[in-house]
A and B are shown apart, each in its own frame.
Chain A
Amino acid sequence: MPDMPHSPSRTLGPVGLYRRMAGASIVAQLRYPGTFIIQAIGNFVTTLLSFFGIWSLFHRFGSIAGWDIGTVAVLYGLVNVAFAVAETLGRGFEVFGGEYVRTGSFDRLLLRPRSTLLLLLGHELRLRPIGRFLQGLFVLVAGLWLAPHVQWSALLVLPWAVAGGAAMFLGVLIGQAALCFITVEGLEVVNVLTYGGVEAGQYPLTMFGRWLRRFITFVLPLAAVCYYPALFCLRHPDPLGLPIWIGALSPSAGFAFLGVMVFAWQRAVAGYVSSGS
């Protein structure tokens, strides 16, 4: 039957295949349940400790530059939940340099009749960030409870903000992976955007200088996925003067950022195939 069509189009689509690969990676991770539980707890505790730093500041001073602990907790929760989702989905991109480029396994990936993005997303559905996720969620709920003017109907914007934030951080991870084709070394710089982004997202935009403010608004749309949606939920007017409804729309910037990074990825793969380096 050499002439039989081997087209995979009639079979499992991208979503179905992703589910299969993700399922297999969960099986693999749970093969050593003790390790997983310890790692998840460790992840929960370390992220919680970083919040205690912020909490003790506010406990001492009450409010800082007009921002109360509730608002800051909401920002903190949003950015951490979003980042945890991105870490869960984007593990294949995070380890791309070390596990695929340096070892030459990327060639192996190219030998599979599927999109490289899909195969790398399917590398692992990582369970460990559940610690950061739960802790972020916990702080987020506490913040809403402490904040003075929550508009409960506006909370619908929160899942949308988390989605936008996760898309943005996933975009960072994909961009980082694309850079691996040029340099496997020296990618630590990109951690400024991931871990640095998480740190910066925890504080209100007005606490930063103009240069950094512009960077996390227009280059990495961190403000669009955390700060403005938080203001929207908390009915907190923007000290920088933008209308409050902006927070309901701005999370889409996270998806736009992801789109740009996906485009960069496709270009980088095409470059790899033609240069072979």
Chain B
Amino acid sequence: MQTPLSTSDAITVRDLRKTYRIREGGSWRGKTRDIVALDGISFSVPKGQIAGFIGPNGAGKSTAIKILSGILRPSSGEVQVNGLVPWTNRVAHVARIGVVFGQRTQLWWDLSVGEGLALLRDIYGVEPERFARNRARLADALDLGGIMDQSVRQLSLGQRMRAEIAASLIHDPDILILDEPTIGLDAPSKLAVRAFVHELCQDRGTTVLLTTHDMHDIEALAERVIVIGHGRILADSPFEDLRTTTLSERILELDFHDTPPELTLPAGASETAREPHSITITFDPRQIPAPALVAHVGHLPGLDDLRISRPSIDEIITRFYADHAA
């Protein structure tokens, strides 16, 4: 006997499976082949949390997002979003979520941003006062004042993405699903989008599910990352835990004003590169703490400078995918 799905969570997923039936060769009577996109995934997201949902291409992310959005019916498993089963009542479900697909617009190319928002007001049935309030708040927070009267066709990618986010929030959804919200954006626009999402979560308690290939989005926003690969959940933890378990190593770079000397290094540290005027050492801080290693190399003749760094988030995630053959 299974316990009922919790209602204090904004999103609950239990043993979700989806198999696509593909017709080989595209012919009408050809053989069919089953492709397992989701192979039993379970997780839940409490109200007000920002959860990163990542994985390599083809891992099953889009399938999961589509099911949570109510536009795809799973093969089996249980899902509740806001206490509703997404695919059994599409209209009631989608009225309470906001979705931004980075690559597809939900506004109208030939209408201005303002006209598009007004049309969404009527599609979602937002009361006029609430609409006016939300529109003013979003225009302010996303800096839309100057582009309200411009047609969507004329917007830059950064402007359009800000307009898209406003469009997805005009009806006060409790849950916001962001699919690649920063793709193609320049650095200031990325920062603006991240700051806005962070504030949305803090001030309004909106639950956010964030899918992205930009690991800096994850680092900046997500309290937690759910990593999916081959249709299964490979990890579900705060990002720092992923760093510790995957690629805890540090890098020590030494610069010399002459040819570097030969080194004898303590256990846990090894030389990984040697240049005419520098050496790179990789070490595991659990075996040899950074201060001890620095003390060990500090007296070397001709040493000019030294730097300690951590692997980038991209390197960590690449290693994680490689470790899991994802």
Contacts and interface: CB of A to CB of B under 8 A. Distances in A.
A104 B104 contact: yes
A60 interface: no
A24 interface: yes
B123 A275 contact: no
Given A2-B174, A24-B111, A110-B71, A277 B92 contact: no
A7 B92 contact: yes
A6 B171 contact: yes
B104 A113 contact: no
A11 interface: yes
A119 B105 CA distance: 15
B101 interface: yes
A271 to B, nearest CB: 10
Contact of A276 (B20, B106, B115, B205): B20
A275 B21 contact: yes
Interface in B1-60: 18, 20-21, 47
A189 to B, nearest CB: 14
A16 B122 contact: yes
Nearest to A269: B90
Nearest to B110: A28
B205 A113 contact: no
Given A8-B125, A111-B106, A113-B91, A21 B119 contact: yes
Contact of B119 (A4, A20, A29, A110): A20
A112 B104 contact: no
Nearest to B126: A11
A240 B278 CA distance: 99
A6 B82 CA distance: 12
A110 B104 contact: no
Nearest to A118: B123
Q: Which of A6, A10, A108, A275 counts the most chain B CB atoms within 10 A?
A: A6
Interface residues on B, range: 35 or more
Interface in B70-108: 70-73, 87, 90-92, 94-97, 99, 101, 104-106, 108
A277 to B, nearest CB: 7
B172 A11 contact: no
Interface of A: 1-2, 4, 6-12, 16-17, 20-21, 24, 27-29, 31, 103-105, 107-108, 110-115, 119, 273-277
B158 to A, nearest CB: 20
B225 to A, nearest CB: 25
A10 B72 contact: no
24 contacts: A1-B172, A4-B172, A6-B172, A8-B123, A8-B125, A9-B125, A11-B126, A12-B122, A21-B119, A24-B119, A27-B111, A27-B115, A28-B108, A28-B111, A29-B110, A105-B104, A108-B105, A108-B106, A111-B99, A113-B91, A113-B92, A114-B123, A115-B91, A276-B18
Contacts of A17: 122-123
A28 B112 CA distance: 9
Contacts of A103: 104
A114 B99 contact: no
A114 B66 contact: no
B95 A277 contact: no
Contacts of B172: 1, 4, 6
